[in-house]
Amino acid sequence: MKTKSIIIIITTLLIGFVIGFLTNAQITRNRLDTFVNQGSYNFFRHRMIQGINPDPQQARQIEPILEKYAQLADENIMQSRQNMQQMHQQMIDELQPYLTNEQLEWIKNAHQNFRGNMQGRGHRGPPSERGPRHRNWN
DSSP sequence for 41-54:
HHHHHHHHHHHH--
**Residue 5 three-state SS:** helix
**Residue 62 three-state SS:** helix
Give mean pLDDT, residues 14-40.
83
Percent of the chain with pLDDT over 90: 27
Q: pLDDT by residue (tens digit) across 51-101?
A: 888 899 998 999 899 889 888 888 888 898 889 889 988 988 999 999 999
pTM: 0.51
The Cα–Cα gap between 32 and 117 comes to 13
Give mean pLDDT, residues 19-26.
93
Give mean pLDDT, residues 108-117.
73
80 vs 74, 96, 118, CA distance in Å? 10, 24, 11
Q: How confident is the model at residue 116, as a pLDDT?
A: 62
